[in-house]
Amino acid sequence: MKKLSIAIALILASLLIAPKLIGSVVEEEREKVLVELNNTDGITLTTSQYTSSWFGAEVTSELTFSLDDAGLADVTILLEEQLSFGPVIITEQDWHLGLGYSAMKFKFSAAEVDDEIIELINEKLHLGALLSFNKNVTTFIKTDEMSYQDGETLIVSAPAEAEFSLINNETIIGDFSWGGLEVKGEGERFVIGTVAMSTEQKVVSGDYLQGTAILTGDATFNVTNIDMYSQNRHVFSLSEAGLTSVVSLDDELLALKLKYNAKEISASGQSFEQPNLEVVLANIDINALQELNKLSAKLSIGVAGQDYSAELLAALSEVTDQILAKEPKLTVTDLSVVTEQGKIASEFALNINKDLFDFNSVNSNSMALITALEADAKGSVPMEFLTQFGMAPMVDDFVAQGYLTRQDNDVSFVAKYVESQLTINGKAFQL
């Protein structure tokens, strides 16, 4: 029993002593972040107060975003942090194990923002960052229900919650959920249903904080419904919509796969089911893309008033040649929707012939780009769908000329565009 009491006493003593030792580690890591942020163009973070105690610290800082390049005034945010030192951290929202936790409040000090909005954000928004034992950073964002009224317009935002982790400064994992939004006023109503998002991405080139990072991985976004009402009429509806993106890297070539789908969409008196869009962008040279990122970063910190147009055009020409050398291709593998008359479906592929493309010619004459474009497409549509819009005579005429093929209720085509010549169903078509 005596040994157990001694062990418990040692553990308690360690927990009491540890925060003081951990505090210096947290402050050191915070200084590293300050240096990295201040090396990022357009961002300045300065600490005006750092008052440390045994179990934590109170910090006041100013975060300034320079918007000179956009022709806007700088925006400065006053940050007030309440730091808690580990190993056991108890916050208003939860408890954590880690080196340190920062609970933040902020307000805009260099922008015209309604004081009521700032007060609402500070009251309803809970923002914190956890520094784990392995020095990864996890950001927690929680909001309570928020409502704001401006005249006849009422905005109500449901609670939201997000958690994003930055691991080894190269992997980002996160989830976001939101109960939705409703805006009402003067006979108009706009509703966004429940929203959910998740992502897991990795930096494969560049630097995240410098804005030059190229990421691979996947992300998903889903919303249960989006609705618009006007004078008690349901003018737009979208239900069970989802968006998925996957970026992959193979032999220094990036590929993006994007997929959109929904259960139903209605607008302007028309209703469609199962709208789908699947896009693949392949063979993008990661090295050329990174050169473009570096160029953008370099020009953004250039001397104000200096003309970089010649340098930019020369660099873009070189990067464009690098990209086209890998023969990138944009493919829409599925663009379809189901109507009351049947399914409308199409797909197409687009690329630029590198042997016909001259950057300098395109820069001076946009028609030069059209000459270098190559495309293949095919599609089908129910005849009944076209008939309801009075297009039957035109369709019959194109069928007679051989540009369209009609079989039973379906009208279809196959098209190709090469060297400024469009052919449909194998017949030349003059634009």
The winner for highest mean pLDDT among 55-59, 119-123, 254-258, 324-328 is: 254-258
Tokens of 258: 């994007």
Mean pLDDT of 207-220: 84
Three-state SS at 172:
strand
DSSP, res 68:
G
Q: pTM of the full predicted structure?
A: 0.81
Amino acid identity of residue 267, one-letter, is A
Distances (CA, A) of 383 to 117, 338, 343, 426: 54, 13, 11, 21
Note the pLDDT tens digit of each residue in 151-161. 888 999 999 99
Q: What are phi and psi of 122, to 5 degrees?
A: -65, -30
Q: Residue ranges of the domains in the chain?
A: 1-144
pLDDT, tens digit, for every residue of 266-311? 987 788 999 999 999 999 999 888 887 777 666 555 444 455 566 6
Lowest mean pLDDT among 175-179, 280-284, 356-360, 408-412: 356-360
Q: Which residues contact 3 (CB under 8 A, 6 or more apart)?
A: none
Least confident window among 6-10, 65-69, 339-343, 394-398: 6-10
Residue type, 101: Y
Cα distance between residue 354 and residue 31, in whole Å: 48
Q: pLDDT tens digits for 17-36?
A: 666 677 677 788 888 877 87
H helices of 234-387, where? 286-300, 309-325, 359-364, 367-372, 383-387
